[in-house]
Amino acid sequence: MSTSTYTVAGMTCNGCANKVKTAVTDAAGASAVNIDLATGKVTVTADRPIDDVAITNAVEEIGYEVTVG
């Protein structure tokens, strides 16, 4: 199992978090996506290696900024 954490800027509500969760799940084939709305931390767990570029592209495509770590 692989786990990666990202910081996503611009999420201000549960609707935003749900959009990010859907985008990340689709991009990573994630088994779990946990979002801390207050800090912007998104923790992704997947059965395969996580592609940081795919996650970044998916999140930026829906209008948010993302950093790894």
Range of the domain at 38: 2-68
Report in angstroms the alpha-carbon separations of 16 from 20, 32, 33, 43, 61.
Answer: 6, 17, 14, 15, 13
Instruction: List, for residues 13-56, the tens digit of each pLDDT value.
Output: 999 999 999 999 988 788 899 999 999 999 999 998 999 999 99
The domain spanning residue 17 has which CATH number? 3.30.70.100
Structural domain total, the chain: 1
* pTM across the whole model: 0.89
Which among 55, 38, 37, 58 has a CA at the least distance from the CA of 46?
55
Instruction: List, for residues 9-21, the tens digit of each pLDDT value.
Output: 999 999 999 999 9
d(CA 38, CA 50): 24
